[in-house]
Amino acid sequence: TVWAIIAVELINPTVQRVADEGGWEGCERCRRAFASVFMANITLFQTVVAGDSWGYMAIPVIESNPPTAIIFVGALMTLVFGV
């Protein structure tokens, strides 16, 4: 949840910008993926634990704003070393 709170504050603006620029055409969930702590938790679970949206969600965000990689990698490292 700490990573989700950080993601809402730091990743959501980048997600909104990428969506405004035409990223994720046809994806209705992408714009709201980090809009709230609950949605950010779901997205981080999908990305980090399930591993099924790295290329679709995280990579465009990281390409648009490279420092956001710290949040994705931090959440991953917390899972790998903390659990």
Give the model confidence (pLDDT) of 64-74 as tens digits.
999 999 998 99
Query: Is pLDDT of 28 > 90?
Result: no
Confidence class of residue 15 from pLDDT cuts 50, 70 and 90? very high
In this predicted structure, the answer to whether residue 83 has a pLDDT above a threshold of 70 is: no
Instruction: Please choose, from the candidates 41, 35, 50, the residue with its C-alpha nearest in 3D space to the C-alpha of residue 4.
Output: 41
Ramachandran region, residue 27 (left: φ > 0; alpha: ψ -120 to 50; beta: rest): beta
Q: What was the pLDDT predicted at 5?
A: 96
38 pLDDT above the threshold of 70 = yes
The pTM of this model reads 0.85
